């Protein structure tokens, strides 16, 4: 019998875990399914469909990304219970996926680093079937059996040039928060930058970044430190003492936009249209980003200080006030004339 060493076991398990990466796909040549037990499809076509079972996700920019979420609503659709069957919900049409409904995304922050691309943010993710009060879970291309969560889920990006498959990625989703990182293909460090073993630690520990609502921004950024790696030591989930998350890496060259598909930027005033949807007007100056990557909004908005009646009741109230003032003025004039006349008679 051949001796079994730790090194050989490590190589065996490593090759088994990454066996699915022997094939490289594009949306145009992907087969109907890429993993055994897959409930959706990788042949998604174009357009969009709110009942689509497409399991291709994209992460390209602040206004062009997807989130993995349940195919059906309901209290049994917690991310932890549906992680193997999630489908892609995207901001843009053309991928054959479901569309993220307007008003879902309340803030999104996209950063491109030398090692990965990442989008973080907040919103009402119950609109994409995440149950209310669901603390969420983690999706990645591995899963317990190497087939991925969701099974057969593929991720693509054109952030580094031509559209390509991103082999290493991780996506956390809850009812109010999301974060999605995809690591640059071809790097030996990609599995480290997109580590998937911290599935109970959540977004802000795994991907320290800007999660502010009301801002949609795209930046260049530093990679920072890989999740769980602290100098020469590596933290493992369940260890006695959980270290603090790494500091937010610095970012620069940030550009902001007021709206993205599925979301509108926050501002000083919101106007509700006849259709019931909210449109937002920004009155302050654009946000700037500090070296820590946190967003700082300018307070230079102005107010006119005047109030304009907005309905008939307000108009009637205004006219009533004016009439009362006129009557009081006339009465005062007649009283003054009477007193003057009386004084002249006495003289």
Instruction: Per residue of the chain (347 residues), give pLDDT as tens.
Output: 333 333 333 333 333 344 445 579 999 999 999 999 999 999 999 989 999 999 999 999 999 999 999 999 999 999 999 999 999 999 999 999 999 999 999 999 999 999 999 999 999 999 999 999 999 999 999 998 999 999 999 999 999 999 999 999 999 999 999 999 999 999 999 999 999 999 999 999 999 999 999 999 999 999 999 999 999 999 999 898 999 999 999 999 999 999 898 665 543 223 222 233 333 222 233 333 333 333 333 233 333 333 333 333 333 333 344 344 444 444 454 444 444 344 433 33
Dihedral class, residue 25 (left if φ above 0, else alpha if ψ from -120 to 50, else beta): beta
- Please provide residue 158's backbone torsions phi and psi, each rounded to the nearest 5 degrees: -115, 15
Which pair of tokens denotes residue 139?
Answer: 């999706």
The single residue listed with the structure tokens 């795209």 is 218
Q: d(Cα 110, Cα 206) in Å, to the nearest integer?
A: 15
How do the residues of the chain divide into helix, strand and coil, expressed in percent and rounded to 5? 20, 25, 55
The model's pTM: 0.73
Beta carbons of 183 and 207 less than 8 angstroms apart: no
SS3 203: helix
C-alpha atoms less than 13 angstroms from C-alpha of 39 in its C-beta half-sphere = 15
Number of separate helices (H) and strands (E) present in the chain: 5, 21
């Amino acid at each position: 019998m051949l001796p079994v060493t730790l090194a050989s076991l490590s190589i065996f398990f490593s090759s088994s875990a990454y066996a699915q990466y022997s094939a490289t796909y594009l949306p145009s040549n992907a087969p109907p399914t890429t993993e055994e037990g897959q409930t959706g499809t990788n042949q998604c076509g174009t357009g969009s469909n709110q009942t689509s079972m497409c399991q291709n996700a994209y992460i390209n920019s602040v206004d062009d990304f997807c989130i993995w979420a349940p195919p059906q609503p309901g209290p049994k659709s917690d991310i932890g219970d549906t992680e193997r069957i999630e489908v892609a919900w995207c901001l843009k049409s053309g991928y054959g996926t479901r569309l993220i409904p307007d008003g879902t995304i309340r803030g999104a922050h996209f950063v491109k680093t030398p090692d990965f691309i990442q989008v973080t943010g907040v919103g009402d993710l119950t609109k994409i079937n995440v149950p209310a009060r669901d603390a969420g879970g983690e999706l990645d291309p591995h899963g317990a059996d190497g087939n991925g969560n969701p099974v057969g889920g593929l991720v693509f990006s054109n952030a580094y040039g031509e559209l390509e498959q991103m082999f290493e990625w991780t996506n956390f989703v809850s009812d109010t928060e999301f974060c999605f990182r995809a690591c640059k293909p071809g790097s030996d460090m990609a599995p480290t930058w997109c580590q998937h073993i911290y599935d109970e630690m959540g977004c802000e520990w795994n991907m320290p970044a800007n999660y502010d609502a009301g801002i949609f921004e795209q930046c260049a950024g530093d990679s920072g430190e890989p999740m769980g790696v602290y100098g020469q030591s590596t933290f493992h989930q369940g260890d006695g003492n959980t270290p603090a998350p790494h500091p937010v890496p610095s970012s620069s060259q940030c550009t902001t936009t007021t709206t993205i598909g599925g979301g509108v930027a926050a501002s000083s005033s919101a106007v509700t249209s006849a259709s019931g949807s909210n449109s937002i007007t920004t009155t302050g100056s654009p946000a700037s980003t500090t070296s820590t990557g946190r967003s700082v909004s300018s307070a230079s908005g102005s107010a006119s200080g005047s109030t304009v009646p907005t309905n008939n009741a307000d108009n009637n109230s205004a006219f009533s006030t004016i009439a009362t003032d006129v009557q009081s003025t006339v009465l005062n004039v007649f009283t003054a004339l009477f007193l003057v006349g009386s004084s002249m008679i006495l003289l």
